[in-house]
Amino acid sequence: MTRKVDPQWRAALLARADQPPLRPRLPLLWQQHVIGSVEPDFFDPLISGQPGVARALLESEHSESGLRWRLLGEATPALKALAGALRELGVGRVRQHWRDEQLAVSDAQGQRIASVERGICRPLGIATSAVHLVGCASDGRFWVQQRSLDKANEPGLWDTLMGGMVSAQDSVQSALARETWEEAGLRLDTLVELQRGGEVVLRKPSSDGADAGYVVERVDWYRCTVPDGVQPLNQDGEVAQFALLEIADLIERLQRNEFTTEAALILADVLERV
C-alpha cells in the first residue's frame, strides 16, 4: 500500500499553484511600494462611471517597464474608498465577494502598510496571508475537513483540519488560535506536539477566472496531534464535515484532486516526511 504521492501528480500540482495571469497585468503602487496588480482595462468602469473618484484615488504613469497605476493619498482610506466605488459599480465581482473583513496590505519585505476589504484583494492582486493546521491522530491517520457547500470559493472541496485567512488585526499565531476554534472547535493548548511545519505560496488566477482576479498568497502551516477521543466540531458553519483518513485513502483523494490547491500542497509536503 503506497504511502507516497505520485511524482507526476505532484509536479502538476506545483504547476497549478504557480501560474501566470490569464492576461498581462499592470502594477498597482502606493508611494514606492508595489501593492498589487490589475488587468489593463480594470479601472475603465470607474473612470467613466465616477471620474471624480478616479481622479482623486488613482493616477496612471509610464515607467521603463510600461504603464502602471498609483494609489493616491493615505493607503487605508484610499483603498476603502476605491473598494466602495468598485462595489457600487459592480466591477470585478467585488460586490459578490464582499466580506466586511479587513486584511493586511504589505510591501515586498512583508511590512504591513495598510488594510483593505477582503473582497477586493483578488481583483487588485493584493497579496494575502493564510494559516493552515494539519491534524493527525496518534495512530497516524489524518483529520481533514470538507468545505461547506455554500462557500463562495471552492465549495465542497476537502481541506486540512483548519485553513483560514490572517486578518489585519491578527498575527499568524493569533489567526491560528482563532481559526482553529472557529473551524474545528479546538483550543491550541489541548493539542499535542503543535509546531510550525513550513509555508507554501500560491500565484494563480482566481479559481473561476471570471472576476479578472489574481491570487498571491503565502500560507504558513502548522501540524499537531489531536488527542484520542477528541472530535473536531465546527463553530462557524463553514465546514460540511470532518473525516479521519488512512494515509492510502488521503493519497487517493489528493490524486483525484478532491482537495484545495493549498491543502494539497501542504499535505503532499507532510506525506514526503512520513
| Among candidate residues 127, 114, 26, 45, the one with its CA nearest the CA of residue 86 | 45
Q: Which residue has 493564510 as its cell numbers?
A: 130
Whether 210 contacts 200, CB under 8 Å: no
Mean pLDDT within 35-39: 95
Question: CA Rg, the chain, in Å?
Answer: 20
d(C-alpha 163, C-alpha 221), whole Å: 9
DSSP state of 190: G
The 10s digit of each residue's pLDDT in 65-84 is 899 999 999 999 999 999 99
Boundaries of every domain in the chain: 7-19+128-272, 26-120
Report angle CA 121, 172, 235 to the nearest 5 degrees: 85
User: CATH topology for 7-19+128-272?
Assistant: Nucleoside Triphosphate Pyrophosphohydrolase (3.90.79)
d(C-alpha 191, C-alpha 195), whole Å: 10
229, amino acid identity: G
d(C-alpha 122, C-alpha 157), whole Å: 20
The 10s digit of each residue's pLDDT in 2-19 is 578 999 999 999 999 999
The 10s digit of each residue's pLDDT in 145-171 is 999 998 878 899 999 999 999 999 999
Report angle CA 271, 223, 225 to the nearest 5 degrees: 100
The 10s digit of each residue's pLDDT in 218-231 is 999 999 999 999 99
What are the DSSP E strand ranges found in 89-127? 102-106, 112-117
Q: Pairing relation of β-strands 214-225 and 128-136?
A: parallel
- Residue 105 pLDDT > 90, yes or no? yes
